[in-house]
Amino acid sequence: MSIYSVPEAVGLPQSVEEGAAFAGRSLSLPRLSLFRLLPVNGSGVVASAAWAVFGLSCLWWEDRGDWSRTHEVAISAFVIAGIVLVTTLSGSLLGRFGAGLQKRAPWLLVLGLFLSLWEVATAKFGWLPLPFFPPPQAIVEVYTDDLPKLLDSAFASVKLQLGGYVIGAVAGFLTGVSIGWSRSVGYWVHPILRFIGPLPATAWLPIAFFTFPSSWSASTFLIALATGFPVTVLTWSGVASVSNAYYDVARTLGAKPSFLVLKVAIPAALPHVFVGLFMGLGSSFAVLVVAEMIGVKSGLGWYLQWAQGWAAYANMYAALIVMSLLCSGAITLLFRTRDRLLVWQKGVVKW
């Protein structure tokens, strides 16, 4: 065999046309990833194994402390491992549920490995010092033994945060629309907004608790203040950025000023308004915790302060998890509300 027949022997292209076709085939090779290297539904199988490892880590060694929920946590881990495995193997028969679990299989894998490492590092070998780093079964024990107090605190926080957030959002929306629409209102309100807005809401704690008759009303004011500023600024920006062509077309058709505000300015500014609502939601949760720690006698912030005072760090972490779930649920609800009200945006912007 001569050296000129090497390309033909190894399957390399021998002409310009064959070279182009070969390059096209090489560029269309599928991208490889960690989970595509596994068998079909392999990520779900590995996630199930990770949860089984977590269950075994709970039972394999003796606990270094006195925790009463170790066996229950292990059984729950084995149950989750079985559910993940069965759902993975029969994912096509379960429709959307199976597809959703398969999509979240990498997260389930990471969570199972994290819980296994957490269990070994705390309850089994004590690599992390107690009581600052309690094991997973200690968190579960809080949810089973101290659930009524935790639920009462969560309910009190929801009432306080919801009231302040709604007041701040409504006030910020009305103020932002007024500033963006009327120059005279902007002349008087804009300097006040620039003076009060940049200051953190927690800086007004002494004045608020001195001015208002109760700690509950003072906390509501602080949450409303933290929510109102971003909503005001973003609403003002949205109304001010509406194109004049929209107003000209509406005036040509005989629209009155009230129609221009309600049917032109506000709908066009809604994307900016929802950005302000998202920003205000995060600020309101931060102020909620501080206000409950200082003045309010109930709520998750008060519960955190109480747990820290008694060095009950498991209770503190349990309250933080509940607070995170509440905030995540509020954000999800706000996202769905935005998607329903701004459904017309799907044909305008890329989601």
Residue 126's Cβ-count burial label (10 Å; 0-12, 13-18, 19+) is middle
The tokens for 97 are 């549920």
Region of residue 38 (left: phi > 0; alpha: psi -120 to 50; beta: else): beta
Q: pLDDT, tens digit, for every residue of 84-116?
A: 888 888 766 767 777 777 788 889 899 999 999
Residue 119: what pLDDT?
93
The tokens for 187 are 């002349």
How many Å apart are CA 155 and CA 300, to the nearest integer? 9
How many Å apart are CA 225 and CA 202, to the nearest integer? 10
Residue 258: what pLDDT?
83
Residue 92: what pLDDT?
66
How many Å apart are CA 169 and CA 229, to the nearest integer? 9
Q: pLDDT, tens digit, for every residue of 53-70?
A: 999 999 888 888 888 888
Residue 177: what pLDDT?
92
Q: Pseudo-torsion of CA 333, 93, 104, 109, nearest 10°?
A: 140
First-residue to last-residue Cα distance in the chain:
58
Yes or no: say if 156 and 299 are a contact pair by the CB < 8 Å rule: yes
- What the chain holds in terms of domains, given with CATH numbers, is 42-130 (no CATH), 147-347 (1.10.3720.10)
For the chain, residues with pLDDT lower than 70 are 1-41, 91-92, 94, 295, 344-351
Question: What's the per-residue H, E or C state across the chain?
Answer: CCHHHHHHHHCCCCCHHHHHHHHHHHHCCCCCCCCCCCCCCHHHHHHHHHHHHHHHHHHHCCCCCCCCCHHHHHHHHHHHHHHHHHHHHCHHHCCHHHHHHHHCHHHHHHHHHHHHHHHHHHHHCCCCCCCCCCCHHHHHHHHHHCHHHHHHHHHHHHHHHHHHHHHHHHHHHHHHHHHHHCHHHHHHHHHHHHHHCCCCHHHHHHHHHHHCCCHHHHHHHHHHHHHHHHHHHHHHHHHHCCCHHHHHHHHHCCCCHHHHHHHHHHHHHHHHHHHHHHHHHHHHHHHHHHHHHHCCCCCHHHHHHHHHHCCCHHHHHHHHHHHHHHHHHHHHHHHHHHHHHCHHHHHCCCC
Residue 215: what pLDDT?
84
**Cα atoms in the 13 Å half-sphere on the side-chain side of 233:** 17
pTM (global) more than 0.85:
no
The tokens for 209 are 């608790």
* Phi, psi for 49 (deg, rounded to 5): -65, -35
